């Protein structure tokens, strides 16, 4: 039993081996790109909208609504990055119930690459929003003493982001395999349905966490100000309440 699809080698291009992870990543990319390409060939603004366009509009509006709920600002700035992450992870997780398909997110290489994308995107969005000085200042935010902890948290959250997705997807496949060995009649169906649910939730979690990290980098100042003012107002309220 392999714990990652990296170990399955499909072929070689020169000295480079092509593992199953790469093949299934290409399949997911092809599905996403060809699907959106074929839908956006004939867009219409009539009352009767083609089905594919309707689907994409619902997905897009859903993602935009989630981003807007989360950060209360214009979602279009974060939509390309967060939406791409969500759609890629969602498609590969959901396709994992197709027999013979190994979800590329079940490999630590893919999830590490995705987490590194988030790791790189956080400073990019942060610097775009508040400039070099503002962004670098956010590392000294509560006090300069917190600098090492801020740096450590930057790295550990990237690691935890990748391990979380990998562990969840790998455990899904592992549980299905174990269930197949122990109770092959009916049980694997239930575990597969549970794996599907977990896959959808994990894709949501991954993109929301990426959004949260980016949002904290882009508006650390405002949040800090809001938190201190909120804290002082809460304490004054408490003391007023406590007095009588």
Partner 1 sequence: MESLELIAMISIIMAGATVGIGAPITAIGEGWAVSRAMGSLAQQPDAAPTISRTLFIGLAMIESSAIYCFVVSMILIFANPFWNHFASLPGVQ
Task: Give least dist CB 66 to partner 1, A.
Answer: 8
64/52 Cα distance (integer angstroms): 18
Tokens describing residue 171 = 């455990």
Task: Give least dist CB 94 to partner 1, A.
Answer: 18
Task: Give least dist CB 114 to partner 1, A.
Answer: 15
27/200 Cα distance (integer angstroms): 19
CB 96 within 8 A of CB 169: yes
Query: Which residue, 90 or 135, has its beta carbon nearer to partner 1?
Result: 90
Task: Give least dist CB 117 to partner 1, A.
Answer: 19
Q: Which residues contact partner 1 by CB under 8 A?
A: 1-3, 69-70, 160, 163-164, 166-168, 170-171, 174, 201-202, 204-205, 208-209, 212
Residue with tokens 């049980």: 187
Task: Give least dist CB 2 to partner 1, A.
Answer: 8
Query: Which residue, 56 or 163, has its beta carbon nearer to partner 1?
Result: 163
Tokens describing residue 69 = 């709920």
CB 7 within 8 A of CB 1: no
Closest CA to 82 of 214, 211, 218: 211
Tokens describing residue 16 = 């480079």
Query: Which residue, 8 or 56, has its beta carbon nearer to partner 1?
Result: 8
Angle at 193 between CA 211 and CA 54, to 5 degrees: 55
Helical spans, DSSP H, in the chain? 20-41, 51-71, 79-94, 108-137, 147-182, 187-218, 220-242
Task: Give least dist CB 69 to partner 1, A.
Answer: 7
């Amino acid at each position: 039993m392999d714990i990652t699809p990296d170990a399955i080698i499909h072929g070689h291009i020169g000295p480079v081996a092509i593992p199953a992870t790469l093949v299934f990543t290409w399949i997911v990319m092809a599905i996403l790109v060809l699907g959106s390409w074929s839908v956006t060939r004939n867009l219409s603004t009539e009352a009767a909208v083609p089905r594919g366009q309707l689907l994409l509009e619902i997905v897009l509006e859903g993602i935009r609504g989630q981003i807007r709920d989360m950060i209360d600002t214009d979602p279009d700035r974060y939509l390309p990055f967060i939406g791409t992450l969500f759609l890629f992870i969602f498609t590969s997780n959901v396709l994992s119930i197709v027999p013979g398909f190994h979800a590329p997110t079940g490999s630590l290489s893919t999830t590490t690459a995705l987490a590194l994308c988030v790791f790189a995107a956080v400073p990019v969005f942060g610097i775009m929003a508040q400039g070099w000085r503002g962004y670098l200042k956010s590392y000294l935010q509560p006090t300069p003493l917190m600098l090492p902890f801020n740096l450590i948290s930057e790295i550990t959250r990237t690691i935890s982001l990748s391990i979380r997705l990998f562990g969840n997807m790998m455990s899904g496949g592992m549980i299905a395999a174990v269930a197949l060995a122990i109770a092959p009649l009916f049980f694997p169906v239930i575990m597969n349905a549970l794996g599907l649910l977990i896959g959808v939730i994990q894709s949501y979690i991954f993109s929301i966490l990426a959004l949260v990290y980016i949002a904290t980098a882009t508006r650390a100042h405002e949040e800090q100000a809001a938190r201190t003012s909120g804290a002082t107002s809460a304490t004054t309220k408490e003391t007023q309440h406590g007095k009588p």
